[in-house]
Amino acid sequence: MSYRRLARRYHPDANPDNVDWAKTRFIELTQAYRALIDSLSMSSAAAKPKQVRSPVTPAQTSQKTKIRVTRKTVKIQPDPNLSSIDNQLKQQTYHRLQEFLQTQRFPRAIALVDGLVQRIPNDPEVRQWQAIAYQRWAHHLIGQKSYSKARIYLKKALKADPQNRVLWTAVRRDFDRLEQLQMRQSI
């Protein structure tokens, strides 16, 4: 459902004033959704658990950001309350999310983690990932001078993971920076 809602929001036909921007966002959203679906189909088709492999090798770099992308083999502890398919999906999504955040593909990261939250809504770890993705996107938006949108995503980050003190500190710092930049802009 989250994909459909976001697809309606970012479809170029729904944004006639800014078609190029909407087209880019719609493509990113669709690619993130396909990655989520692919990881679901891979995990359900697997007879036994396989090690998750990265589509990005350590030597590859992002063309846009020139950030070296490496994959640490972080093993997410399986949750006994989740099925094996959901645990595999969670593991694969974590690695994909890390890749998206490192290469600053924030809309894709948000679409991916929002899809996982739809699938596993009560998992605190997944909620934390969602909050981090929102905060990182908001931080980026502040740098892009999209202040109102940044404020929205900072509020979403706090709502997604309200008990995370480290997140609260980062969000407070971003809100302070946002206030300072807006005050400078008004002068």
Assess if residue 56 is contained within a domain: no
Q: Which two tokens stand for residue 33?
A: 């959704």
Q: Domain limits at 142? A: 2-46+64-186
Into how many domains does the chain fold? 1
Is 144 or 31 the better-scoring residue by pLDDT?
144
pLDDT score of 81:
85
Domain membership of residue 104 (yes or no) is yes
Q: Once rounded to an integer, what is the mean pLDDT over residues 26-37?
A: 78
Task: Answer whether residue 58 is part of any domain.
Answer: no
Which run of H or E residues covers position 156? Answer: helix 147-160
Per-residue pLDDT at 185 = 80
- 58-98 pLDDT tens trace: 444 334 433 344 444 566 778 888 888 988 898 999 999 99
- Give dist(CA 106, CA 179) in Å, integer: 23
Q: CA-to-CA distance for 157 and 87, rounded, in angstroms?
A: 24
Q: Which of 86, 89, 91 is nearest to 76 (CA)?
A: 91
Residue 107 lies in a domain: yes
Q: Is residue 57 part of a domain?
A: no
In a domain, 55, yes or no: no
Distance, in Å, from the CA atom of 143 to the CA atom of 140, rounded to the nearest integer, reads: 5
Residue 54 lies in a domain: no
Q: What is the CATH number of the domain that holds 69?
A: 1.25.40
Q: Is 79 helix (H, G, I), strand (E, B) or coil?
A: coil
pLDDT digits (tens, 9 = 90+) for 98-128: 999 999 999 999 999 999 999 999 899 999 9
Residue 52 covered by a domain: no
Q: Read off φ and ψ for residue 167, nearest 5 degrees.
A: -65, -45
CA pair distance 176, 171, nearest whole angstrom: 9
pLDDT in tens, 43-65: 555 544 444 444 444 444 334 43
- pLDDT value at 40 more than 60: yes
